[in-house]
């Protein structure tokens, strides 16, 4: 058991460090030698755990990125409360974390989707699966909001989900530049205005 736990801890450390390296430099600008140097590993030790750089990255996607998206953008909006408030608070918290990240290079998922587009179908599928899961959960949350009377019954939940994902990717890209806090504030103000336009209106008696 001790050996298993030690191996799991080693794998976790390797993947966390690898993700930081890929996020900072990009996948295609990161060589296996870069990974070995960062992890203080021999080639033999690396290839004992992973078949290739791609295999290493895919394990990071499955074990770290998917969990991160779930804990940051999916889990906080689950439940039967007002979904517009849940999503607002979720985005606000996620963006606030980015404001205080001195090594911010934008949304990890969005960055890799852009980098791998047209270059690696296998990795794109795994990244696309994370987006699909996020999208399905957003649609489900919005539909529950319609059913529970929080969102106008004419609202297209699939379209709203697409808008939210693309706008989140967009603001995270813009926040890499100057004044991330101010950009976040303006984005959140407009998001709240948008949500007001799709919330269910009181029925006049």
Domains and CATH numbers, the chain: 52-198 (1.10.357.10)
122, 57 Cβ separation under 8 angstroms: no
pLDDT at 35 (0 to 100)? 92
pLDDT at 104 (0 to 100)? 74
Q: Could you report the per-residue pLDDT of 93-146, keeping only the tens digit for each? A: 999 999 988 777 789 999 999 999 999 999 999 999 999 999 999 999 999 999
The answer to whether residue 34 scores a pLDDT higher than 60 is yes
* pLDDT-derived band at 71, boundaries 50, 70, 90: very high
Signed CA dihedral, 71, 74, 78, 82: sign only: positive
What is the C-alpha to C-alpha distance for residues 46 and 37, in angstroms, rounded to an integer? 11
The answer to whether residue 31 scores a pLDDT higher than 90 is yes
| Per-chain mean pLDDT for the chain | 92
The answer to whether residue 17 scores a pLDDT higher than 60 is yes
Whole-model pTM: value is: 0.90
The answer to whether residue 203 scores a pLDDT higher than 80 is no
* pLDDT-derived band at 9, boundaries 50, 70, 90: confident
Report which of 201, 200, 183, 199 is spatially closest to residue 91, judged by C-alpha positions: 183
Residue, of 73 and 2, whose pLDDT is higher: 73
């Amino acid at each position: 058991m001790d050996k298993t736990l030690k191996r799991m801890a080693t794998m976790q450390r390797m993947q966390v460090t690898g993700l930081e390296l890929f996020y900072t430099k990009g996948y295609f600008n990161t060589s296996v030698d870069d990974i070995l140097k960062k992890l203080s590993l021999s080639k033999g030790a690396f290839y004992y755990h992973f078949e290739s750089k791609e295999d290493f990255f895919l394990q990071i996607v499955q074990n770290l990125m998917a969990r991160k998206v779930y804990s940051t953008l999916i889990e906080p909006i689950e439940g039967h409360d007002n979904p517009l408030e849940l999503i607002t608070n979720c985005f606000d918290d996620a963006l606030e974390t980015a404001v205080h990240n001195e090594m911010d290079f934008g949304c990890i998922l969005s960055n890799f989707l852009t980098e791998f587009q047209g270059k690696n179908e296998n990795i794109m599928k795994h990244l696309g699966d994370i987006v699909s899961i996020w999208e399905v959960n957003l649609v489900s949350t919005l539909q529950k909001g319609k059913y529970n009377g929080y969102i106008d019954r004419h609202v297209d939940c699939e379209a709203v989900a697409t808008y939210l994902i693309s706008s989140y990717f967009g603001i995270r890209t813009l926040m890499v530049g100057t004044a991330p806090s101010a950009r976040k504030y303006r984005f959140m103000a407009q998001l709240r205005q948008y949500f007001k336009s799709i919330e269910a209106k009181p029925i006049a008696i």
